[in-house]
Amino acid sequence: MGKPRQLLLARRHFLHGAGGFALALPVLRSLMPRDSWAGDPPFAKNPRFVAFATEHGGVWEDFMFPGATTLTDTQAYAGRTIRRGALVRTLDGAQAGVCPVLSGPADVLTPELAAKLNVLRGLDCPFYLGHHRGGHLGNFADNDGNGTDGVVAQGFPMPTIDQVMAWSPSFYPDLSTTLERSMIVGSRVSWGWSSPESGTGSIQEQPPVFSSLELFNRIFVPVEDDLTSARPPVVDRVLDQYRSLRQSDRRLSAADRQRIDDHLERLDELQRRLEVTVSCGDVMPPSADSTDEWNSSSFGYDPAAQRRFWQLFNDVIAAAFVCGTSRIAVLRVSDTFSDFQGDWHQAVAHEAHTHDGGAQGTLWAAHQRFFADVMLDLARKLDVDEGDGVTMLDNTLIAWSQESGLFTHESVSTPVVTFGSAAGAFATGQYLDYRNLADEGMYGWSNGSTQRLNPGLSYNQWLGSALTAMGVPKAEYEAGEYGGYGQIYVGEGREQYYPSGVFDVAGETLPWLGSD
């Protein structure tokens, strides 16, 4: 193992740590290989991606989205008139926001930060998905099968887009500082191939971490590692063993050999990681671990503890981005951010549309807390100058998706909220509404309440837009008749709402979202 590179700490900044650890970090630019910068600064060529996936959804439109008067522009697109407008930050005492859910302390959600938000409406999964985990990032197969459509979707497992990025040579053209291709927090949010380098094998869930300290240990190389040994690294010899077995004339089945090949790929990745010797300078190990919070018996209804839990991860993510040891983080947030003590699933989420609004009040307030305490917190931590007036947040795409749209279980108009311009790929500060208001044929239903739903564009188009923004060429992920990412499947009885024109444009970056 070579000696860790010593960095030129010409400029440092202190992250807005929430108590996790003290960190004096060099700016990212000093870590980036020169060719990773765009010829046209100030944006970084290789941006970062963060996805937050939350459960249920079901937040009423008056709480989740800005007012309709915000939508000042229209455009004909895919057989409908789509709308957009500039987000308007309003003040309510010490709170600022663009709508009730998307609000936070005014000194955090500053006008500058609010201008880096996007709110997307009218992104649909065109079949009944019900409860799921995988749909956020493109693996619709991971659903509960609570419906015939969901069962059909279970037959088409796909890698999630974070794993497409993680193993894309376009996204990671240089892995010299990368320790973790993708940081995965929370279970069942990320899926990839069993042989990810070759994109073959079976689709399997990527194991998550729940400990911020464990994640920290994965993304930093301790400088004090023993570097004095004259012995060669043993990983070479480990590889020799597997190759020897693979090539031996002993009896093995073809599937045995495939398993060995899969393992060899993983060993190659291990070897690559072991050769990463980047140091981030004055890194102090975290003084707290997320599991300290999680292990509390009251964690499930203690929003302050939940805030601390997730902010500890935000600290590690921000530090990893600064150090360049990872550029992807996906987080499945299943906490409620509420002091409600009871069966959240049944008593709140499934009651979100009872007319008295009691459960809805609990629900939207919880979503607001998630936004302010977690998503906004990370945006603030990343919104530090990387040089030339561009912040790390500008070079990042943070995306928050909910499990359902306005109705729990129904994946029509799943809200997508973003921060950052993905290194200039996205225009920001917008409210974008892709629904076809002329079509009110669908209905949503939940606990005695029905409401007309307007069909939108395909969620696949959003996933493809995110991949494109992250620099992954379509050739690496598009397959089949239509563009966008993932399988396109129109559910039973929904064909009329999703004509082929919707999918003909699925390979395009969502209108107005692209910066060009």
Contact between 440 and another protein per CB under 8 A? no
Q: Please report how close the Cβ of residue 160 comes to another protein at its closest, in angstroms.
A: 14
Q: Measured from the CB of residue 448, what is the shortest distance to another protein in angstroms?
A: 5
What token pair was written down for 41?
């600064």
Neighbours of 174 (CB within 10 A): 13
Residues 254-293 that bind another protein (CB under 8 A): 254-256, 258-260, 262-263, 266-267, 269-270, 273
131 vs 380, which CB is nearer to another protein? 131
356-375 residues near another protein, rule: CB under 8 A: 358-359
Which of 149, 289, 386, 508 binds another protein (CB under 8 A)? It is: 149
**Which of residues 289 and 377 has its CB atom nearest to another protein in the complex?**
289
The three-class DSSP label of residue 330 is strand
Residue 186 C-beta: closest distance to another protein, Å = 14
The per-residue DSSP string of 454-504 comes to ---EEHHHHHHHHHHHTT--GGGT--SSS-SSS---PPTT-GGGS-HHHHH
Segment contacting another protein (CB under 8 A): 38-46, 111-119, 143-151, 430-438? 143-151
Q: How far is the CB of 167 from another protein (least distance, A)?
A: 11
Rounded to whole angstroms, how far apart are CA atoms 166 and 263? 18
SS (HEC) of 45-106: CCCEEEEEEECCCCCCHHHHCCCHHHCCEEEEECCEEEEEEECCCEEECCEEECCCCCEEEC
Residue 107 main-chain phi, psi, to 5 deg = -80, -5
The CB-of-409 to another protein minimum distance in angstroms stands at 5
Under rule CB under 8 A, which residues in 118-137 are in contact with another protein? Answer: 128, 130-131
241: Cα separation from own chain's centroid: 37
Please count the CA atoms within 13 angstroms of the CA of 309 that sit on its side-chain side.
Answer: 28
| Residues in contact with another protein, shown as a per-residue x/- string from 478 to 497 under the rule CB under 8 A | -------------xx-----
The smaller minimum CB distance to another protein, of residues 360 and 391, is found at 360
39 binds another protein (CB under 8 A): no
Q: Is 341 in the site for another protein (CB under 8 A)?
A: yes
Q: How big is the chain, counted in residues? A: 516
Find the binding residues for another protein in span 235-254 (CB under 8 A).
235, 237-238, 240-242, 244-245, 250-254
Query: 10 Å Cβ neighbour count for 438?
Result: 11
CB of 244 to another protein, least distance (A): 8
Nearer to another protein, 267 or 427 (CB): 267
User: Total number of residues binding another protein (CB under 8 A)?
Assistant: 71
Window 189 to 208, contacts with another protein (CB under 8 A): 194, 202, 204-207
DSSP string, 162-204: HHHHHT-TTT-S--TT-S-S-EEESSSS-EEEEETTTTEEEEE
Amino acid at 44: A
Output the smallest distance, CB 465 to another protein, in A.
27
Q: How far is the CB of 258 from another protein (least distance, A)?
A: 7
